[in-house]
Amino acid sequence: MKLIPVGVLGAGKYVPDRILTNKELETMVDTNDEWIVSRTGIKERRIAADHQATSDLCLEAAQIALTNAGITADQLDLIIVATVTPDMPFPSTACILQEKMGAKKAAAFDLSAACSGFIYGLANASNFIATGTYQYALVIGADCLSRITDYTDRNTCILFGDGAGAVVIGAVPEGRGFRSFELGADGTGGPLLKLEGGGSRNPASPATLDSRLHYIYMAGAEVFKFAVRIMGNAADEALRKAGMEKEDIDLLIPHQANIRIIQSSLSKLHLNEDKCMINLDKYGNMSAASIPVALAEAAEQGRVKEGDKLVLVGFGGGLTWGASVLVW
């Protein structure tokens, strides 16, 4: 069976209005702006309003992506929301979004792969379209990490922000679209980055609240070492599968976790910073939203043109990783 070429038809992003600066964090925990910027590259991050949940962020990004793709919600066949902060355990955030959008014929489900979730979602959705099962899919990476961030933990609270990025994918001309995907996981690293409370293992109770199990725990040094190794490796493997070389890359769009991790990836891929989309100084780590927000911003800023070869690459809790080569 001949597969249909699949690519991005339109992208959109949404970040909340409220800005949490490093200076404000100085009043909350024992830290300072210089320390945060030198070690992470982050200057500020966005925080969802009290009335906003993940589905609300998704809706804003999705509407922009649909407009840019030139299609309407009722044309969608599939909605995938990659998130670790769903509105609630069930129904899925994707189903909540489907109702808000009026996408009545779309199948809908959530996907949990932490910061790698958007690439996992793209890989899933593109297969439905490549085989002719569906025509249009909406893939969103979105998280309200402020809801699960411990603002008494100076090691983690400086990192995270809220946002959503969305793409509509569908058939594209031959030679365009996704040329490869590289997905992976290493469950032995699960304890390094986790949220223990609220599930079937540790259901919510006074004890889980007292132990602060409903907040992100991260073994920062170990996750950093993993990320530095896996980002370059995953990108290399995606390029190999696509039959391309490092020199072919026009723009790298990495997960926005830490400037040192991004710089390490650039070094391994022999790329200059001008060939990389970096916005973590404004948004921090938005988990599954980081890559699609960066992709949407790159498109907005005219940093990608038809025929450009993009590498999307990320890592996350699980531990997971994902990379893709996309010809724009």
Average pLDDT over residues 148-175: 97
Q: Which residue has the tokens 């070690």?
A: 39
Spot the catalytic one: 58, 95, 115, 276: 115
Q: List the CATH code of the domain at 178-327.
A: 3.40.47.10
Give me the mean pLDDT over the 228-246 stretch: 97
Structure tokens at 255: 């997960």
- Catalytic residue of the set 22, 255, 276, 279: 255
> Is 0.95 surpassed by the pTM of this model?
yes
pLDDT at 170: 98
Residues 52-102: tens digit of each pLDDT: 999 999 999 999 999 999 999 999 999 999 999 999 999 999 999 999 999
Rounded mean pLDDT, 235-251: 97
pLDDT value for 42: 98
Q: Is 22 a catalytic residue?
A: no
Report the pLDDT value the prediction gives residue 247, as an integer from 0 to 100: 96
Write down the pLDDT at residue 165: 98
Summarize pLDDT for 6-22 with one digit per residue, the tens. 999 999 999 999 999 99
**Averaged over 283-296, what is the pLDDT?**
98
- With bands split at pLDDT 50, 70 and 90, how would you rate the model's confidence at 167? very high
1 has pLDDT over 90: no
- pLDDT value of position 8: 98
Average pLDDT for 190-203? 97
Render pLDDT for 110-119 as a digit per residue (tens, 0 to 9): 999 999 999 9
Residues of the chain with CATH 3.40.47.10: 6-174, 178-327
Average pLDDT, the chain: 97
> 127 catalytic, yes or no?
no
Listed in sequence order, the residues at least 6 apart from 267 whose beta carbon sits closer than 8 Å to its beta carbon are none
Q: What fold does the segment set 6-174 form as a domain? A: Peroxisomal Thiolase; Chain A, domain 1 (3.40.47)
* 95 catalytic per annotation: no
